[in-house]
């Protein structure tokens, strides 16, 4: 099987500097067919806020050529109408397989996963942090709840693996959850964020876990042809970010 090339960023918080943005765009242009993903918290507004004028970082990411992003806590909102307005500048899928609407549908740009045709065929599952848990007091007044991310992947990954060559978790759940995701047998790679750390970690028998830091400090580059055939590195975009 041919290897997939995947670049990934996280936690911009609307602080992506022009030089780093241009470097990301250059990497995308130089590698036709490579996937460019983000693990969430690209915008600056908190999960209870939104900008009526839209989100410039989402427009910039669309211009750069991002293929998908995970829903971070900053991309979420407990109200359906405001969530739709908050994400309207995302012309690419915003992924959250563990986001459950109390009343369908989700906003049109929000998907549980996306399958890129390749070759190889890559299924990317998005995972958001559990901001509002089912059965909590907040769940009574929100439009959405967030299911357990590991449980969502355990239920979804085997089905996706029947049709895709690779299953990637794009997670804004933090490194502790990401290590649990890496132990799910059908998962080949975990691209994470939320913890504001930069590292590449591989334990025997588990998928590689990669975090690229925050504010555009790094972008990860992974060549992968299978769970045990993954090579990841971090490329510096902004020193001292």
Q: Phi first, then psi: give them for residue 29, nearest 5 degrees.
A: -70, -35
84-112 residue pLDDT tens: 888 999 999 999 999 988 777 888 889 99
pLDDT for residue 239 is more than 70: no
In CATH terms, is domain 4-236 a member of 3.40.50.150?
no
Task: Give the pLDDT of residue 148.
Answer: 97
Rounded Cα–Cα distance for residues 181 and 190 (Å) = 7
Show Cβ contacts of residue 113 under 8 Å, excluding neighbours closer than 6 positions. 95, 97, 123, 124, 125, 126, 156, 160
What mean pLDDT is reported for the chain? 92
Task: Give the pLDDT of residue 159.
Answer: 96
Task: Give the pLDDT of residue 209.
Answer: 98
Task: Yes or no: say if 20 and 238 are a contact pair by the CB < 8 Å rule.
Answer: yes
pLDDT for residue 50 is more than 80: no
Rounded Cα–Cα distance for residues 49 and 37 (Å) = 24
pLDDT for residue 63 is more than 60: yes
Task: Give the pLDDT of residue 138.
Answer: 77
**pTM for this predicted structure:** 0.94
pLDDT for residue 139 is more than 80: no
Strands ordered across the beta sheet of 208-212 = 113-116, 122-127, 166-171, 189-192, 208-212, 198-201
Mean per-residue pLDDT, 167-175 = 98
Task: Give the pLDDT of residue 241.
Answer: 55
Residue 72 token pair: 């971070």
Task: Give the pLDDT of residue 226.
Answer: 92
| Parallel, antiparallel or unpaired: strands 35-38 and 68-70 | parallel
Beta strands in 75-196 (DSSP E): 94-95, 99-101, 110-111, 113-116, 122-127, 144-146, 166-171, 189-192
Residue 26 token pair: 């250059």
Mean per-residue pLDDT, 210-229 = 96
pLDDT for residue 7 is more than 70: yes
Task: Give the pLDDT of residue 137.
Answer: 78
What are the angstrom distances between the C-alpha of 194 and each of 65, 103, 175? 22, 28, 8
User: Which SS3 state, helix, strand or coil, does residue 226 take?
Assistant: coil
Residue 50 token pair: 């939104």
Task: Give the pLDDT of residue 240.
Answer: 53
Mean per-residue pLDDT, 211-230 = 96
Task: Yes or no: say if 96 and 109 are a contact pair by the CB < 8 Å rule.
Answer: no
Residue 221 token pair: 């580059």
Task: Give the pLDDT of residue 76.
Answer: 87
The DSSP bridge partners found for residue 37 are 8, 68
Task: Yes or no: say if 71 and 94 are a contact pair by the CB < 8 Å rule.
Answer: yes
The DSSP bridge partners found for residue 135 are none
Top pLDDT among 167 and 239 is at: 167
Task: Give the pLDDT of residue 169.
Answer: 98
pLDDT for residue 49 is more than 80: no
* Among 14-23, 27-36, 129-138, 178-187, the least confident range: 129-138
Please report, for the chain, the start and end positions of each structural domain, with discontinuous segments joined by +. 4-236
Rounded Cα–Cα distance for residues 234 and 76 (Å) = 27
């Amino acid at each position: 099987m041919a290897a997939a090339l995947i670049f990934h960023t996280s936690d911009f918080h609307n602080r992506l500097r022009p030089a780093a943005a241009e470097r990301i765009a250059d990497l995308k242009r130089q590698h036709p067919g490579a996937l460019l993903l983000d693990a969430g918290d690209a915008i600056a507004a908190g999960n209870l806020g939104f900008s009526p004028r839209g989100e410039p970082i989402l427009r910039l990411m669309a211009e750069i050529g991002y293929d998908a992003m995970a829903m971070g806590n900053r991309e979420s909102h407990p109200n359906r109408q405001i969530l739709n307005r908050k994400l309207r500048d995302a012309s690419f899928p915003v992924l959250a397989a563990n986001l459950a609407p109390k009343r369908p549908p989700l906003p049109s740009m929000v998907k549980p996963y996306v399958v890129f045709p390749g070759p190889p065929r890559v299924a990317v599952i998005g995972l958001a942090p559990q901001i509002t848990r089912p059965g909590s007091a907040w769940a009574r007044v929100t439009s959405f709840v967030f299911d357990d991310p590991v449980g969502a992947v355990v239920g979804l990954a085997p089905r996706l693996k029947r049709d895709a060559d690779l299953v990637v978790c794009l997670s804004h759940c933090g490194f502790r959850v990401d290590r649990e995701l890496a132990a799910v047998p059908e998962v080949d790679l975990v691209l994470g964020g939320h913890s504001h750390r930069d590292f590449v970690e591989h334990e025997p028998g588990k998928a590689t876990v990669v975090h690229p830091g925050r504010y555009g400090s790094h972008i990860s580059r992974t060549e992968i042809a299978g769970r045990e055939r993954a090579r990841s590195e971090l490329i510096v975009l902004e020193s001292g970010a």
